[in-house]
Structure 1
């Protein structure tokens, strides 16, 4: 009987461990970088705000900072940002007061760039091995204090 209870508890513990690992390791699918529809209020000069439905890149990408396995006291940084790959140019019309005739409105045609496709790209071009100096500075400060 005791063996049966221990075996059941072991299986339950293993299942809970696997589920917890999946929750912690797998990113949320809904939050991944993707193309979304958004509403914008476009304001141009003294014109009336115009509400526009357009696309935007939103979501998360793989990013981390961890201790470097090869450089003592350094950090390894990896950063990706959600960015547009392809763009299209939409034209919108805004209505503006006519300074020459307050009873009429002038119309302006504006261009609005909108993404067509989104991907995760590197956030910057600074190599991660150049970003380790602050740890060295803190180490030197700590040595002076002792």
Structure 2
């Protein structure tokens, strides 16, 4: 089984964020696409849900590795001269992204908790259910919530 270890750092505060790792998409040379956008995209897409181990960390708590999932793979992208307007370029950028998500709750042991604070915190995290090639968008932080 193919496994990757990703480190997930939980920061203090009410809303905690996971910074997503961007997996680069494969950019195709427009000379080889010849306006066959659909064929080019479908023949090179390799985007799939992959098992990973996330290491959850929170200040004062013991790091906890948990099994999870990530979208990993490559998707076709291209830039080419427009067929109808030769002075313009056509671009298509596709990225491997989630197309559904699941939630999980995890307890972290915090032996360095201050007096009055709990020794365990409950963290709710998310993971992709399915993955697919979709148009690329900017960075997005996935919220991770905890309750003390």
* 1:80 shift after superposition: 1.3
Based on CA coordinates, which of the two structures has the bigger radius of gyration? 1
Q: Is the 8 A contact 2:60 2:113 kept in 1?
A: no
2:115 alignment partner in structure 1: 100
User: Greater helix percent: which structure?
Assistant: 1
Unaligned 5+ segments in structure 1 are: 1-20, 126-146
Could you tell me which runs of 5 or more consecutive residues in structure 2 were left unpaired when the two chains were aligned.
Answer: 1-31, 33-39, 139-148
Greater relative CO, 1 or 2 (CA 8 Å, sep 6+): 2
Q: Distance between the aligned counterparts of 1:76 and 1:50, measured in 2?
A: 46
RMSD (Å) for aligned C-alpha atoms: 2.5
Q: Does 1:84 align with 2:94?
A: no
Matches within 5 A, 1:1-146: 26-27=43-44, 32-96=46-110, 97-100=112-115, 106-124=119-137
Please identify runs of 4+ aligned residues in structure 1 that moved more than 6 A.
none
Bigger strand share: 2
TM-score (norm 2): 0.57
Give the alignment's TM-score, normalised by structure 1.
0.57
Give 1:52 shift: 1.2
